[in-house]
Every structure is written in structure tokens, then in C-alpha cells.
Chain A
Amino acid sequence: MRLDEQTRPDFPILQRIVNGRPLVYFDSGASSQKPRAVIEAMSQYYERSHANVHRSIHTLGEEATELYELARDAVQRFIGAASREEVVFTRGTTDGLGLIAETIGRTLAKGDEIVVTELEHHSNLIPWQLVARDRGAALKAVPILADGTVDLVALERLITPRTRVVAFAHVSNVLGTILPVTEIVRRARTVNAITVVDGAQAAPHLRLDMSALECDFYVFSAHKMLGPTGIGVMYGRRAVLDSLEPGRGGSEMIKEVWIDHAQWNDLPWRFEPGTPPIAEAVGLTAAIEYLEKLGIDRVAEHERALTRQTLEGLARIPGVTLYGPPTAERGAVVSFTVQGLHPHDVAALLDAEGIAVRAGHHCAMPLMRRLGVVGTSRATFSVFNSPDEVSLFLATVAGLHSAL
């Protein structure tokens, strides 16, 4: 059975009729839909087990704590982390990247260098701009080549003995480019720079193994991988986490507190101040279990087939321009423009047919400037999308030139 035939009944929202047509949801890159298993796990948690975690000495408190910490184990398994202490829960990718930038930022001095790439989402650029400004550090960007890949020759040159941080996406949210994480990490390590990987677009689609990637930090969101909004993961290599002061203060991240100082809690709680997103952690566990049951490699293969069908189909439509590597060896992302139509109008015209795609600058304005466009339209795929949906999408795009 094809993966979408198996999964579609699990997603209640696919019953929606939008503008008189069955919903075709090609916007999982922004936020994926949720299988019933995730929705029910969260409802059941609220109906049966909710209480605050860690310091509630009563039955519900213990149940909630156990469920919350089980999510950490699920994430550790899912990403191949060496220990559960390396898994820190955040509010999402943006929150995680901000937390890392603030935490590392305190250790930077004037003249230190931060290296990013030109294809970064604003979430992996702006926090570094703020840090660079506050600490007098220099921010440098590795250029993108015409085929949508990172210029590794320039990277070699831009990383210097003053480089303290190298921060980059695993998969571009616009181009779908898969960056050579291990290669970049090894180059960064020659100057002892800390590596930070934005995995928002990779976690839902690629098999992750932190021991193979070798990066210091890896950050992603649950809501793009069939899980709920409001929770994300900041993986940090233990030796690095141990060496850093907590980025933010509050309850839970301390052992003992005096008026003028405090002793920090152990990992990973040292980086989790306040009441965490507990129900969301329960939902994330359900999402991970759902993906694991399908098989990550099977998920990746299914999405690769949809991506290939989309790339080949769009390439045959006159007036359509494609962006990114000319291959399906990319994330489940296809960005395109239609000659004579603004990306927002393309999205609105597709929406009139029940097809949801994203349009605009995709929070990557420097990349848009590099591509010479105001924006693109973008189709992104998940486990529930079908080849028939792609065919309908292609036929609709082919008719757009006469639509306005």
C-alpha cells in the first residue's frame, strides 16, 4: 500500500472541503497537519493526567512528570542523541535558536566572528544579528551558488581563527537544499567554533543521527513533524551544555537559590525555566511514535517521489521557474514562480481550488534578494500527500496564466 493510502484516514482535517473542493494541503513546511493519535494523546492527557511537573507530590503530578520525561526519551531515540540530558525542550525552533544565541552570545567578545549562510530563515539570522550588535562581533554569510547549494569554497575562506559560531540550516525552507552538515561541522571544528544547526525542515523528513552529524546544537519544532505547536527541541552536545551558563532564569532550572546568587540545576532542566509545554510534549511523543511506526526511510522515499513528480511536472509548464537544486535529493520543498503572476496571487488562485501552498519571502529576505525575486510560491509535502494531489496541483498551475 502506498504511504498516503495508509495514512490519510488518520488525519481528520483531510475531510475538510475548502472553497467547494477537497483540501489539498501542500503547506506542511510551514506547519503540518496532525494525525488522530496526536490529537487524542493530548486530549487524554488533559482529561486524565494533567498537573504541573517535577514538584507536585501527588498522583497526577507524578503521572504528568512521567509523561513529560517520556517525551525526552522518545526524542533522544528519534534523533540518536547520546543521552537524554542532551535533549532540552523549548517553545519551538525560533525559541531554541534565540536561546542558543543568547547563551553563547554572553561568551563572545569584540572581534569574534559568527558565520551563517545566505539561505537562512530569519530565525537563524536575526538572533545572531542582535548578538553581533551587542557584543561587537562580526556577522558573515556564506554565499549560495546558482544551483542553490552553499559555496563551500567561500565557507573555507570565511571560517577563520576568530570564528566562534557557525550556524546554518540542515534543509533550506525555500530551496530544499540539503546542506552537508558533517562537512561544515568538521571545518568549524578546526577553529573550535560552536556549530548550530536549524533542523526545522529536516526533522520531519530525514533520518536524524546526532552522533553522525557531530554538531554541537540541533534545533527543531514539533509542529512541522505532525506534532503540536508550542514545543520544540534543542539538542545540545553534553560537553557544550556543561560549559555554558543557563540562558534564561526562573523556576526549575535551579538547585538552590539565595537572594544574590543561585546554584544551577542539572542538565537538561538547567535550560528549561518555568512550567514546560507538558501536553505538547505528550503530543510530540505520539507524533514520533507515529513516524517511527511508518518508518522514517519510507516517509523520506514517499516525499522524495512527490517532490520528483512536482519538479518534473512544473518544469514542463511554460512560464514556470523553479528554484533550488535540480534534483529530488532535497527536502520535501518545491519553490516556483509563474511568469506574469505575483506569488501571492498564485497562492490565492490555487486556494480557490482548495490547494494550500505558501507564498511570499518565506522569512528568508536575503535569499530572495539573492534570487532576484520578491517571493516565490512554495509547495511542501508530508506523509498524507498523494500523487493524485500533485497531478491536480500541476494541472491547476498549468491553467493559471489565463486566470488573472
Chain B
Amino acid sequence: MSTATPSAAGGLYSDVIRERWRRPRHRGELPGANAVAEDVNPLCGDRVRLMLTIEPGGRIAAVRFVGDSCAICTASTDVLAELITGRPRDEARAIAAADLLAVLQAEIRPTRMRCVTLPISVLAQALNGTKTP
């Protein structure tokens, strides 16, 4: 058998994605969360559940997520959680795919963009309270 080196993977898996896939900083449960939403990516069955504690003034005090998702989706969700922590609700709502891609530093192909954007739609649902767990 020849020795293969699958570590290349083009520019798809950046160091940021690898690092946050191995050691997500915001993964876990959030007891007392007051805004929660969960959704799936119909393409692959990935599932992400976002839990937020929002203060009465609208500031997002804490964010945690759990789910069953690929490296890109997990890293993207972790980055999103970091970006919105401590921010007012309206600023969190304005986060777009480009903001996440800027941090992820990866060449995401169109077929995998849903992996990046799934947490954005889950966040919108959590903030709107349109989907309850």
C-alpha cells in the first residue's frame, strides 16, 4: 500500500477550523439559558443547538452550543458564539457569513457554505423566538 497524506485537503480546513474542531471554546450546555433554538442542515443532517443568556437590557451574556456537526459547521458555530458574546442583540443579529469566513480563513466551496451558515439561521431563530426546543 502506498502512503497517502490526506492532511493537505487544499485550503478547506484552515488552522482555525482544525483548532476549533479539536477544541471548541463554547461547546457545552448552558443552564438557565433564556433563548434557545435548534435546527438541521437538510443536506447532511447536521444538527446545531444554540443556547443564549440574554440580559434584560438585550446584551448577550453567555453562549453555548451542542450538536452533531462537521468540522466546518462546528468551527463556524464556535466562532459565532465568540463573536456575539457580550454584544447587544441587534449587533448579533447583523452577523453574516462573511464575518465568520473572515475568522475561519478557509476556502469554503459553495457545497459546504450551508455548514458555515447553519449557526446564523439557528441564532436568528433563537433571537426571534420563532423556534422553541
Contacts and interface: CB of A to CB of B under 8 A. Distances in A.
Interface in A340-389: 341-345, 348-350, 352-353, 359-361, 365, 368, 374-375
Interface string B46-64: 1100000000000000000
Nearest to B18: A404
A19 B46 CA distance: 26
Interface in B88-133: 112, 115
Contact of A404 (B22, B45, B46): B22
Interface in B1-57: 1-10, 12-13, 18, 21-22, 43-47
Interface residues of A, number: 29
B21 A404 contact: yes
A400 interface: yes
A262 interface: no
A368 B45 contact: yes
Contacts of A391: 1-2
Given A360-B43, A404-B13, A396 B6 contact: yes
B47 A374 contact: yes
B45 A365 contact: yes
A207 to B, nearest CB: 34
Contacts of B12: 348, 352
28 contacts: A342-B46, A342-B70, A342-B71, A343-B44, A344-B44, A344-B46, A344-B70, A344-B72, A344-B112, A345-B13, A348-B9, A348-B13, A348-B112, A352-B6, A352-B9, A352-B10, A360-B45, A365-B45, A374-B44, A374-B45, A374-B68, A391-B2, A394-B1, A395-B3, A396-B4, A399-B4, A399-B7, A403-B13
Nearest to B74: A342
B45 A375 contact: yes
Contacts of B71: 341-342, 345, 404
B69 interface: yes
Interface in A117-166: none
Interface in A147-195: none
Nearest to A391: B1
A402 interface: yes
Interface of A: 19, 341-345, 348-350, 352-353, 359-361, 365, 368, 374-375, 391-392, 394-396, 398-400, 402-404
Interface residues of B, number: 27
Interface of B: 1-10, 12-13, 18, 21-22, 43-47, 68-72, 112, 115
Given A342-B70, A345-B71, A392-B2, A403 B9 contact: yes
Given A353-B8, A360-B43, 19 more contacts: A344-B72, A345-B13, A348-B12, A348-B13, A352-B6, A352-B8, A352-B10, A353-B4, A360-B44, A375-B45, A391-B2, A392-B2, A394-B1, A395-B2, A398-B4, A399-B3, A399-B7, A403-B9, A404-B22
Contacts of B18: 404
Contacts of A360: 43-45
Q: What are the 4 tightest A-B residue pairs by CB atom distance, in nearest-first order?
A: A342-B70, A352-B9, A396-B4, A360-B44
